[in-house]
Amino acid sequence: MRFNALFSKRGLAVLALAAAVPLVLPNTMNGVDIMGEAQAAGTETAIFAGGCFWCIESDFDHVPGVVETISGYSGGQTTENVTYKNHVAARHREVLKIKYDPSKISYDKLLDIFWRSVDPTDGGGQFCDRGHSYSTAVYALNDEQAKLAKASKAKLETSKALSAPIRTEIAQAGPFFAAEDYHQDYYQKNPVRYKYYRYSCGRDARVKQVWGNQAYSGINK
């Protein structure tokens, strides 16, 4: 980390863990709970990896049409018992599962917000958080999402809006593992620590540098 270890992502997570008993929510795949619980009627699901899931959760919680967000892990080599302690070794990314109302916001619009809330030109992580687990990705839950994500990425590349190639992976979604309870809504549970972390990590400053006036305006509300 580039700043005091106490206020790094991992340092803050350790502090939170000491004050809470983690609760692992059910795992899901392709929008359907592995345990058999169907997705809520009238909603659809998107899964994005955008660096620290505390931050991307905060961003998307303020998007009209988003019904629910769950921080978690996905994209790695294991299919069970994935936790904050072992997800890095298993090559999972920190991700956000977004349930949204398609009558109020489209998947295309969610993609647009996602691009403009991260640095898609950084293939080595996001901001001060380095490594594969913090790198960006779009995990498509079906063929239509894959088609839309690839088209959105291609449009962005053609537009030359960014000064460097896009390094964000677009891949088929695999199993989703909900993060421990102390990670969920971290920005609400620990607002002072969260704001210090986000500022120290340079997330908003870098997004503004990359996107200028096209940066997602809902960041850090």
What is the model's pLDDT at position 93?
A: 98
Catalytic positions: 52
What is the model's pLDDT at position 41?
A: 72
Which parts of the chain register pLDDT below 70?
Answer: 1-40, 218-221
Residue (of 24, 20, 43) closest to 175 by Cα position: 24
* Residue 69 forms part of a structural domain: yes
Residue 97 lies in domain: 5-211
* Residue 220 forms part of a structural domain: no
* Residue 218 forms part of a structural domain: no
Six-digit token pair at 29?
């795949």
Question: For residues 127-138, b (16+ Cβ closer than 10 Å) or e, as one string?
Answer: bbbeebbbbbbb
* Residue 216 forms part of a structural domain: no
Give CA–CA dist 189/38, Å, rounded.
Answer: 29
The total domain count for the chain is 1
CATH number at residue 101: 3.30.1060.10
* Residue 115 forms part of a structural domain: yes
pLDDT tens readout for residues 111-156? 999 999 999 999 999 999 999 999 999 999 999 999 999 999 999 9
What is the model's pLDDT at position 138?
A: 98
* Residue 221 forms part of a structural domain: no
The sign one gets for the Cα dihedral 89, 22, 54, 34 is positive
- For the entire predicted model, the pTM comes to 0.83
Task: Determine how β-strand 66-74 pairs with β-strand 93-100.
Answer: antiparallel
What is the model's pLDDT at position 14?
A: 45
